[in-house]
Structure 1
Amino acid sequence: MGPDHVLTRVARKELQLFFSSPVAWLFLASFLAICLFVFFWVEAFFARNIADVRPLFEWMPLLLIFLCAALTMRSWSEERRSGTLEHVLTLPVPLWQFVMGKFVACTAILTLALTATLLLPLTVGRIATLDWGPVFAGYLATLLLGCSYLAVGLFVSSRTDNAIVSLMGSVALCGVLYMAGSELLLGFFGGNLAEFLRLTGSGSRFESITRGVLDLRDLYYYIAVTLAFLSLNVYALERGRWSQHSSARHRAWRLGISLVILNLVLAGLWLYKIPGLRTDVTEGKLYSLSEPSETLLSQLEEPLLIRGYFSERSHPLLAPLVPQLRDLLREYAVAGNGKVRVEFVDPAQDAAAEKEANEEYGIQATPFQVADRYQSALVNAYFNVLVQYGDEEEILGFSDFIEVKMAQSGQPDVLLRNPEFDVTRAIRDVLYSYRSSGELFDQINAPVTLRAYVSADSKLPEILVEYRDAIRAEAEALIPNSQSKFNIDFIEPEANNGEQAALIVEKWGFQPMVTALGDENQFYFYLTLEDDHQVIQLPTGRFDSSDFGDALEAGLRRFASGFTRTIALSLPASSQARQGMPPQGHSFGTLQQTISQDHSILMEDLDDGSVDSSADVLLVMAPEALSEQAVFAIDQYLMRGGTVIVASSPRSIETRGSALQLRQVDSGLSEWLAHYGVHIESTVVLDDRQAAFPVPVLRRVGEYEFREMQFVDYPYLLDIRDDGLNADHPITQGLPNLTVGWASPLSIEPRSGLSTEELLSSSDAAWTSEAVNVMPSLNDNGQNSFSGQGKSRERATVATVLSGEFTSFFNQVPDPSPRDEMDNGVADAASTALISKSPASSRLILVSSNDFASDQILSGVIAASGTQYFGPLEFLMNAVDWALQDSSLMSIRARAHFNRTLPALPQDTQASIEYGNYAGALLFLLLIYGVWRLQRRRRRSQLREILA
């Protein structure tokens, strides 16, 4: 009889005995019931509002202890009690075949139980965008963990003839393995001891795999535990064959088992020193280096230092994150090809290192409250990362790395938010800062030409002749040190019968200038910087040669890589203050803070009729009553080849007392946008695919009314996901979902020379409303007062991008204000210069919401979801990076763990999903029972034929 045949027969027999008793059905039913209860009740899946199945796996290390112990408690103890074990021991068959047969049978039952839970991830994937990588990893981790527990249970069962004793012993031994790495135990220890215990614990390894990282060290741990206890099981049975007297064979067995276990331990210690044997199966590679990070590291010319300051004793919720962060930082060292040095320091153990951290880098310890074996105390712990390149440095703290999601029970779920983004951004910042202190032309790849379209001396005013000579001399002074990457070209437009003049009017829209209003003497004075890919116009300002150097450097930086960009930001508060109007709740403090992390912010006052020459992108948020000069500033910035991002709508939310109302808003941009074929409707979009928001709700109970704050599904908050996000555009293709509040529909008929792409849109179940009162109320059934019944449902565009050759909205320059008059009484020639056409590199990005990325929206969504929410900020930062042709961070910006949220679902739909899973689990059990009955009937039929 072959070994495979024996193993198969033993496994088949165990399965038949198992399903012939109530134990099998009790095991499967209990397992499914507990899993569903934990998923929907304990972890409150719908209230948690995250599109993943982590609640299914979080309790598995503890749950499987009892279920696997119950599954194995009778495997050998029943054989020993009934006396059949003696028969097994006398057979001339190696005992490992019997052990493996029982193990395979138990593993098959466990696999069947896990298969029954597949309906949960299928359900989540049906209602939201599910990352299937962690799901696969979670099932693999559960199977491996279960196998190790089964091996423990089989070993314990082989040592006793009492099933209850086997059950208790298995629970105790598996519990020790679990507790060794649990936070409950590790909170009493610190340093290397806590790290060692974490490595020996079954639960801590399990958490590492279920987050989506398949580390060979973690996989080997479960395989090693399984092999060790299966070997001990064989040894325990083999001893039953021995006589009382020791022999060489007995000693050989003891030595062999000892060597097997010792080799398993040594192999684990050897693998521990190799951190690179891992693969990230999450979508977007959340826990490993992406291509942009590796590309950035390839640009290093000097050594880069990444030093982690981590205390041995820290908060119990932060301690498990330290190994994850260490592994990630080590990957930077590997990808750096010798240019990246990674160090880890515990300042509490090194007084010199702590002094250096405090005094030189300004790194201070953070106090955390922890409890040890003796008392509850405050511990000053470090959780910082230093990134240093040359003489530039940046410090990251736990607030940069950590994301907290509050569970329904009130307990925080602490994870690393997006560590690669933060570390890579820090590397980019120190690299760019270091480069900016060097030569400008080192960062310019293609030659750049300063092309000046300037009329002859006879046509130019005397002041401009002097200005031309001054800037020519200043530009020529750059040529010797430009590494052949800069040259100048002065062109007289009127030459050759005005051939160049006609060309620049047609191509760039450069209109003739005049020295004073009504003067018939016309001339040209335009400056451009050009390379093979883009053309930008240099502002001439007031034709002051002292300003030219700054304008030229700012323009050249647009062609260089590795410099901090400047974002001109126009906010509504300043314009309202000038008009004596009270603020209407539009604050953008979080947006300003986010921009300042990657770029320089320039608070732009558009009423002076121009945008600062150093601005790389113009961002206009919630404009209101813009003057003609302000619109002209936006128009001419776009004409100069810039990118303008506008968030605007004719309706804006405001709070009056405790009520929400929409007020009419005149942005001043309506006619300007209509010139390019863009119309923002005065209505507001509502959608059945909506987000929750904390709002004051009017609740009626009989004749009484109550006003209270509640989280309600609010159709004015569009939950944009899936087909609502343009998956083909770089700005939106990496975003999982986005919340846009009180948005108006866009209708777009782009003019000739312009192309348009839809970025954001509602679902097909959206409708519009002109209602002013937008405060929700709940009826007696708890249903929202807003309804789209009877409304025309259609998809609505709420964000778009236009690109191409824009034509100016203005046919002449607006009348200058008195402050624009020059001291000699002659009108500023710059104010009379009109650019009537833009280069093809100009872009206009429009979001039809005044509250897009406002603090009110962000704080409301954070309160409703229980975690940090950066969707609008990620959209705007992606738009800025796309405009600047800087894709280094776009693909990794939106990779935060909690970014995938559930769509808004009515309570009856949530109940249907929950009960549907209960029904599906019951049907699965009935299906298994039906298959087993069919198999049993077939075996009986075969037996009758044999007997006949």
Structure 2
Amino acid sequence: MPHESNTQRVASKELTLFFSSPVAWLFLGSFAAVTLFIFFWGEAFFARNVADVRPLFEWMPILLVFLSAALTMRMWSEERRTGTLEYVLTLPVPLRHFVLGKFRACVTLLLLALLITLPLPLTVARLGDLDWGPVLAAYLATALLGSAYISIGLYVSARSDNPIVSMIGSVALCGLFYLLGSDLLTGFFGTGGAELMRTVGTGARFDAITRGVIDLRDLFYYISLIVVFLALNIYTLERERWAATGSPRRHRGWRLLIALFVINVIIANTWLSQVSRWRMDVTEGQLYSISEPTRNYLSQLQEPLLLRGYFSEKTHPLLAPLVPQLRDLLMEYEVAGQGRVRVEIIDPSDSPELEDEANQKYGIRAVPFQVADRYQAAVVNSYLNILVEYGDSHEVLGFGEMVEVKAGASTSIDVQLRNPEFNITRAIKQVLYAYQAGGNLFESIDSDIEFIGYVSADELLPPQLASYKQAIEEQLQATVVSAGGGFSVRWLEPEANGGQVARQIQEEWGFKPMVASVLDENQFYFYLTVADERQVVQVPTESFDPATFEQALDASLKRFATGFTRTVAFSAPKMNPRLAQYGMMGPQFRNLEQAITQDHTIRMADLTDGAVAAETDLLVVVAPENFTSKQVFAVDQYLMRGGTVILATAPYISQTRGNSMIMLPRPSGLQEWLSHHGINLGSEMVLDSQNSAFPVPVTRQVGGYTFQDAALVDYPYFIDARDNGLNAEHPITRGLPQVTVPWAVPIIIDTERNAGRQVTALISSSDAAWTSPSSNVLPRMDDSGMSSWAAPGATHSELLATLISGRFESFFAGQSSPLQAPADSEDRITSVIERSPESARLLVIASNDFLRDDILTTISSLTGGQYLGPLELIANAIDWSLEDGGLLGIRSNAHFNRTLPPLERQTQAFWEYTNYAAALLALIILALLQNRSRRARQARYLRELGGAA
């Protein structure tokens, strides 16, 4: 009989025996029941609030130990006990056919069990944004791990005639392979020893694949484990055939062959453990691989870049598995750098000199972690840092930047790398830009730049400006020489040729004649610009001080360059010391400030002087209050110069006082300015049925004692924007899975005023949103503890954040500048730019609380991790506006960013019970198919008997 036919017949026979007895149904039912219980109860899927299926596979290595042992315990033991094994041994058929047939039957049953769990990921995909890459990898890992345990179980079963003994032996051996790489044992060893044990342990390999990285080393390990134990199974049965008087030479040959095979498998695994290139990252966004933006930064390196990992041998058990992941990723950087990246992995405790250098030169300090075992608790000082050094610039990544911790529903926590590639690449970008900033500016500009001064003749200029022009001409000529041909200078008199140039610059950019003072009738022009074939940038000249011109010119030229750290002007409310005495801190935005400083130079600006600093590349204004005309003028003229303004504002702001919450009016002073540009903010707040929860204090009575607790209720003012609510086409919001917008008002776009400009909706509420004029925003609960909010009528989607690009008309067009000096003053000369270039952009978010520290903290406490959605949105907006999109595609690729949408308790119960029903239905369908197959076999058997008769 052909090999395939023998194996198939054995597998079919075993499957028939499985399903004709309770074994198969107990296995499938137990598998489904345990996995569903762990998913919904043990790991509290809905409370965990992450759109993934990690809870499904969290306990799979342990579960498969017992189920595989139960499945295989009778496979050979029963044959030996009943005497049928002697019949098998006497057949003229190679024993490998029987071994592979039984193995195939068991694996088929395992695959059927996995098929029953398929409704779980389908449910998660229906509810949230599921990354299917890790899901498919986890199913592959489960199939491989289960197959390995089955091969071990078959080998143990072949050595005993007692099924119970076989089961205990299988559990012990499979459990040993699992424990070798588990935290239970690796915690007793250092990083090196623990890592070696994890390479042998089945569970650690399983975790490596389920995170979404299919590594050849892991695949080969499982396949080799399967093949080795199947070979040992065949060898064990083959020995039963040997007669006492058989050929000793043949027996020694078998033993030598098996020994050599096992040794070669061990050697192959050892050799492959040193190779990290043959791997496939199947996660969406390539969380564990080098992406194209990273390769672009590495291609800009002009000298060697050092990546040094400081990893302690002894560390916290939850952090130990992260070290190999970081090391493998650093090695990928070395490969992608093509000789320009040098990677070093050191343990500071092994080298006092390197530890002293880390402490003194780089400020790297060990972090104390409390660890405990069965007998004692101790504090371990360990390092988990990465140094990125380029030239004389360096950045250090520590525990806080690289590790993300999410609290579970119970006391358990989930520890993962936050977004390793983004953090390392961002550090590389910072040191690279810092290095380039010390060089020639024009080396980073890929186009010819022309300085054009629209300046009146000297006799028309005030003496101050005439001398200023003469001083900067010398500086411009020096710049022409240093540019080496990439920079030229041209002066134009707007009044020449009948004022043709004057009319042109007024029409295109709103450059109007200036006057020295209010009562001075002498008009003149003094506008300085730099331009290439794509854009025109005005050089700021507010102070007309020759000493500051070089700085202003460099700031303008950097708008055309790549490889320089940009400057962001940040305007936020200042803390009122008087209110702080009463515990009312007011809105604070330190998290946003820190997020900006990670990638850019930040300049705090209150704009009260009526101007934005010359070196500013982008202006961010959050929660403005009662802006004066000078502050409005600063924002307006910065936009008119072709800059980008990000504005978070609304007519209301929240304030908490003890257990109460009120909405206070907050006039920004920018309402008329926004209306002038066709942006109107509604007076009613938006509520949405698709919302995030809010913690409400409740009082509980237990045993005569009173406890203060917090209950989570739906809160429509916390708008949960996801899916269609986030613009999937625009780079600013494309990579964001979800954003919570608190206490927002609708944005109404005046299409007539915005004719000719590009209007992009970035964030919108769901279609189940409505507006309310009520100032009562306290969370509401009914008698059953559920939210009692309901839409009073029709619902519709509301615009919450918009981006407008194009040419804007100044709010101050046709008016005198608020900064205009009086007639008897010698202060600075100012003018009004009445029209912006096409490069101007205005991003408006209709919420004062969107980026507040206390709101971010509240939402983080609800999710069990750190909530960074609003900060990532602003970071994306800054990078996109500054045309530095290198980090846009990888910024939001964190593990816990994919959250579930808000679900009512009834909805959660519906999906949970639906999965129970789906598993039961799958078992029923399988039973019907099996019954139909059994009847078909009986009918075929009767027909064969009739034909024989």
1:360 CA drift (Å): 2.1
Task: From 857, 860, 871, give the equivalent of 1:859.
Answer: 857
| Contact 1:51 1:130 (C-alpha < 8 Å) held by counterparts | yes
Check 1:226–1:846 CA distance in 2 against 1; reply closer, same or farther (3 A cut): same
Q: What per-residue deviation string (whole Å, max 9, x for no partner) do you get for residues 87-117 of structure 1?
A: 0000000000000000000000000000000
What does 1:270-349 align with in structure 2 at a 5 Å threshold? 270-349=271-350
Give the counterpart letter for 2:397 in structure 1. L
| Contact 2:116 2:922 (C-alpha < 8 Å) held by counterparts | yes
Give the counterpart letter for 1:770 in structure 2. P
Counterpart residue number, 2:368: 367
Q: In the aligned structure 1, how far is the partner of 2:40 from the partner of 2:575?
A: 49
| Contact 1:446 1:531 (C-alpha < 8 Å) held by counterparts | yes
| Contact 1:392 1:430 (C-alpha < 8 Å) held by counterparts | yes
Give the counterpart letter for 1:793 in structure 2. T
1:725 CA drift (Å): 0.8
Instruction: Indicate yes or no: 2:177 matched with 1:177.
Output: yes
Q: In the aligned structure 2, how far is the partner of 1:581 from the partner of 1:474?
A: 54
Q: What per-residue deviation string (whole Å, max 9, x for no partner) do you get for residues 660-718 of structure 1?
A: 222222111111111111111011111111112224469999xxx99863322211111
Q: Which secondary structure does the structure 2 equivalent of 1:777 belong to?
A: coil
Q: Which secondary structure does the structure 1 equivalent of 2:365 belong to?
A: coil
Instruction: Indicate yes or no: 2:483 matched with 1:486.
Output: no
1:349 CA drift (Å): 1.2
Cα RMSD after superposing both structures: 2.0
Counterpart residue number, 1:766: 769
Q: In the aligned structure 1, how far is the partner of 2:700 from the partner of 2:181?
A: 49
Q: Which secondary structure does the structure 2 equivalent of 1:115 belong to?
A: helix
What does 1:667-816 align with in structure 2 at a 5 Å threshold? 667-696=668-697, 709-750=710-751, 751-788=754-791, 790-812=792-814, 816=818
Of 590-599 and 535-544, more deviation after overlay is shown by 535-544
| Contact 2:694 2:779 (C-alpha < 8 Å) held by counterparts | no
1:579 CA drift (Å): 14
Q: In the aligned structure 2, how far is the partner of 1:532 from the partner of 1:284?
A: 35
Aligned length: 940
Counterpart residue number, 2:2: 2
State the TM-score, normalizing by the size of structure 2.
0.97
Q: What per-residue deviation string (whole Å, max 9, x for no partner) do you get for residues 20-64 of structure 1?
A: 001111111110000000000000000000000000001000000
Q: In the aligned structure 2, how far is the partner of 1:817 from the partner of 1:308?
A: 54
Q: Which secondary structure does the structure 1 equivalent of 2:733 belong to?
A: coil
Give the counterpart letter for 1:796 in structure 2. E
Q: In the aligned structure 2, how far is the partner of 1:669 from the partner of 1:271?
A: 64
1:546 CA drift (Å): 1.8
Q: Which secondary structure does the structure 2 equivalent of 1:785 belong to?
A: coil
State the TM-score, normalizing by the size of structure 1.
0.97
| Contact 2:813 2:833 (C-alpha < 8 Å) held by counterparts | no
Q: In the aligned structure 2, how far is the partner of 1:673 from the partner of 1:462?
A: 38
Instruction: Indicate yes or no: 2:834 matched with 1:836.
Output: yes
What does 1:408-487 align with in structure 2 at a 5 Å threshold? 408-487=409-488
Q: Which secondary structure does the structure 2 equivalent of 1:380 belong to?
A: strand
Q: In the aligned structure 1, how far is the partner of 2:168 from the partner of 2:849?
A: 60
Q: In the aligned structure 1, how far is the partner of 2:178 from the partner of 2:582?
A: 63
Q: In the aligned structure 1, how far is the partner of 2:447 from the partner of 2:309?
A: 38
Q: In the aligned structure 2, how far is the partner of 1:283 from the partner of 1:806?
A: 39
| Contact 2:679 2:748 (C-alpha < 8 Å) held by counterparts | yes
Check 1:757–1:899 CA distance in 2 against 1; reply closer, same or farther (3 A cut): same
Counterpart residue number, 2:100: 100
Q: What per-residue deviation string (whole Å, max 9, x for no partner) do you get for residues 798-821 of structure 1?
A: 000000000001135556579x66
Q: What per-residue deviation string (whole Å, max 9, x for no partner) do you get for residues 584-616 of structure 1?
A: 631101111111111111111212111111111
Counterpart residue number, 2:236: 236
Q: In the aligned structure 1, how far is the partner of 2:175 from the partner of 2:48?
A: 28
Q: What per-residue deviation string (whole Å, max 9, x for no partner) do you get for residues 260-289 of structure 1?
A: 111111111111121111010000001111
Counterpart residue number, 2:126: 126
Counterpart residue number, 1:57: 57
Check 1:844–1:297 CA distance in 2 against 1; reply closer, same or farther (3 A cut): same
Of 415-424 and 547-556, more deviation after overlay is shown by 547-556
Counterpart residue number, 2:606: 605
Structure 2, unaligned stretches of length 5 or more?
none
Q: Which secondary structure does the structure 1 equivalent of 2:732 belong to?
A: coil
Q: In the aligned structure 2, how far is the partner of 1:895 from the partner of 1:666?
A: 37
Q: Which secondary structure does the structure 1 equivalent of 2:632 belong to?
A: helix
1:577 CA drift (Å): 8.2
Q: What per-residue deviation string (whole Å, max 9, x for no partner) do you get for residues 839-858 of structure 1?
A: 00000000000011111221
Of 401-410 and 36-45, more deviation after overlay is shown by 401-410
Sequence identity percentage:
54
Q: Which secondary structure does the structure 2 equivalent of 1:424 belong to?
A: helix
Counterpart residue number, 2:221: 221
Q: In the aligned structure 1, how far is the partner of 2:250 from the partner of 2:579?
A: 98
| Contact 1:189 1:372 (C-alpha < 8 Å) held by counterparts | no
Counterpart residue number, 1:918: 916
1:745 CA drift (Å): 0.7
1:335 CA drift (Å): 0.3
Counterpart residue number, 2:32: 32
| Contact 2:191 2:320 (C-alpha < 8 Å) held by counterparts | no
Structure 1, unaligned stretches of length 5 or more?
none
Give the counterpart letter for 2:243 in structure 1. S
Q: What per-residue deviation string (whole Å, max 9, x for no partner) do you get for residues 720-752 of structure 1?
A: 111111111010111111111111111112423
Counterpart residue number, 1:259: 260
1:369 CA drift (Å): 2.3
Q: In the aligned structure 2, how far is the partner of 1:294 from the partner of 1:547?
A: 37
Counterpart residue number, 1:894: 892
Q: What per-residue deviation string (whole Å, max 9, x for no partner) do you get for residues 565-594 of structure 1?
A: 111000022699899999663110111111
1:518 CA drift (Å): 3.3
Q: In the aligned structure 2, how far is the partner of 1:708 from the partner of 1:68?
A: 44
Give the counterpart letter for 1:765 in structure 2. A
Q: What per-residue deviation string (whole Å, max 9, x for no partner) do you get for residues 756-808 of structure 1?
A: 000000111111111111111211112112211x3220011100000000000
Q: In the aligned structure 1, how far is the partner of 2:155 from the partner of 2:403?
A: 42
Q: In the aligned structure 2, how far is the partner of 1:815 from the partner of 1:106?
A: 84
Q: Which secondary structure does the structure 2 equivalent of 1:573 belong to?
A: coil
Of 340-349 and 244-253, more deviation after overlay is shown by 244-253
1:371 CA drift (Å): 4.1
| Contact 1:584 1:654 (C-alpha < 8 Å) held by counterparts | no
Q: In the aligned structure 2, how far is the partner of 1:821 from the partner of 1:759?
A: 44
Q: Which secondary structure does the structure 2 equivalent of 1:774 belong to?
A: coil
1:564 CA drift (Å): 1.2
Q: In the aligned structure 1, how far is the partner of 2:373 from the partner of 2:308?
A: 28
Q: In the aligned structure 1, how far is the partner of 2:375 from the partner of 2:657?
A: 54
Counterpart residue number, 1:619: 620
Q: Which secondary structure does the structure 1 equivalent of 2:460 belong to?
A: coil
What does 1:203-218 align with in structure 2 at a 5 Å threshold? 203-218=203-218
Q: In the aligned structure 2, how far is the partner of 1:476 from the partner of 1:815?
A: 32
Give the counterpart letter for 2:269 in structure 1. G
| Contact 1:721 1:738 (C-alpha < 8 Å) held by counterparts | yes
| Contact 2:64 2:149 (C-alpha < 8 Å) held by counterparts | yes
Q: In the aligned structure 1, how far is the partner of 2:151 from the partner of 2:351?
A: 44
Q: Which secondary structure does the structure 1 equivalent of 2:805 belong to?
A: strand
| Contact 2:134 2:283 (C-alpha < 8 Å) held by counterparts | yes
Q: In the aligned structure 1, how far is the partner of 2:444 from the partner of 2:473?
A: 23
Counterpart residue number, 2:251: 250
Counterpart residue number, 1:79: 79
